[in-house]
Amino acid sequence: MSLETIIRPYGRKDQEIVRHICCETALVGNPIDPVFNDREIFADLIVKYYLQKEPENAFVVESESGVVGYLIGSTHSNSDFGIVKFGLHAVSKILVKAISGKYKNSPQNAEFIKRIFRGGLSPKHPKNAAHLHINILPDFRNQGFGTEMLKRFYAQAQDAGLNCVYEMVFAHPGKTEKYFIEAGFSIFDKRPSDFFGDHLPGPVSTLCVERQLPYELALATLS
């Protein structure tokens, strides 16, 4: 890990850059625009709940050039309700814009909206568990920053009395279910996914992957 780059707790001043990184990485590590190009609403959909309601569970990676990655997460028992509420608000904003013709030059947005409404079920997730989303800009991947943020979040989850953490991830031909199992996760549930349409050549599944805490114990079971 380079000396100039640090992991630190999220602060309100990081809100815009976290929302930006979300949109830069949401298509399995790449920019989301070919799928849906209203970045404001997309960031609302994915990160707003976490930044507003659980900022204490968020971390950022900060390099000399600024924030380059984040982890957002939840340790609250009622987060499902909050996430759905924020999600519905974002979806209603999308609908208003679509109906008023704001997306007429972005045909991919209409397709995305159709897929949201057609939407399959999300995978089930474990009860009494923390969960997280993590994304890092390409130039800063594979240098240990993700692992460091995960360790910090796992410690926070344990402090909150939780012994399980899950993530919703996409499995696709470039990053298969096997990848997540080899990375130390168990598959809790999975569903076919059409979230990215043709922009991510299939088959694509949404996986709920889980890991028991403490992390060291989970790692030991791999060897």
Ligand X SMILES: CC(C)(COP(=O)(O)OP(=O)(O)OC[C@H]1O[C@@H](n2cnc3c(N)ncnc32)[C@H](O)[C@@H]1OP(=O)(O)O)[C@@H](O)C(=O)NCCC(=O)NCCS
Nearest residue (CB) to ligand X, 103 versus 162: 162
Contacting residues for 37 by C-beta, under 8 A, at least 6 apart? 106, 108, 109
Nearest residue (CB) to ligand X, 44 versus 146: 146
State yes or no: residue 205 binds ligand X (CB under 6 A).
no
Please report how close the Cβ of residue 191 comes to ligand X at its closest, in angstroms: 15
What is the 8-class DSSP label of residue 46?
I
Please report how close the Cβ of residue 95 comes to ligand X at its closest, in angstroms: 26
Q: How does DSSP assign 54-123, residue by residue?
A: -GGG-EEEEETTEEEEEEEEE--TTHHHHHHHHHHHHHHHHHHHHHTTTTTT-HHHHHHHHHHHH--PPP
Three-state DSSP state, 49: helix
Please report how close the Cβ of residue 84 comes to ligand X at its closest, in angstroms: 20
88-to-39, 81, 84, 94, 191 alpha-carbon distances in Å:
16, 11, 6, 10, 21
Nearest residue (CB) to ligand X, 32 versus 41: 32
Contacting residues for 119 by C-beta, under 8 A, at least 6 apart? 194
Nearest residue (CB) to ligand X, 108 versus 143: 143
State yes or no: residue 74 binds ligand X (CB under 6 A).
no
Q: Are 187 and 181 in contact (CB under 8 A)?
A: yes
Please report how close the Cβ of residue 99 comes to ligand X at its closest, in angstroms: 31
Determine the Cα–Cα distance for residues 37 and 129; give it in Å rounded to an integer. Answer: 32
> Could you check whether the bond before residue 173 is cis, i.e. omega within 30 degrees of 0?
no
Say how many residues touch ligand X, by CB under 6 A.
18
Q: Lay out the site mask for ligand X across 122-141 (x = CB under 6 A, - = otherwise).
A: ------------xxx----x
What is the 8-class DSSP label of residue 208?
E
State yes or no: residue 144 binds ligand X (CB under 6 A).
yes
State yes or no: residue 183 binds ligand X (CB under 6 A).
yes
Of 24-32, 100-108, 189-197, 199-207, the window that binds ligand X (rule: CB under 6 A) is 24-32
- The correct pick among 5, 25, 74, 79 for binding ligand X (CB under 6 A) is 25
Nearest residue (CB) to ligand X, 90 versus 204: 204
The residue at minimum Cβ distance from ligand X is 146
Q: Are 74 and 154 in contact (CB under 8 A)?
A: no
State yes or no: residue 167 binds ligand X (CB under 6 A).
yes
Residues that bind ligand X (CB under 6 A): 25, 28-29, 134-136, 141-147, 150, 167, 169-170, 183
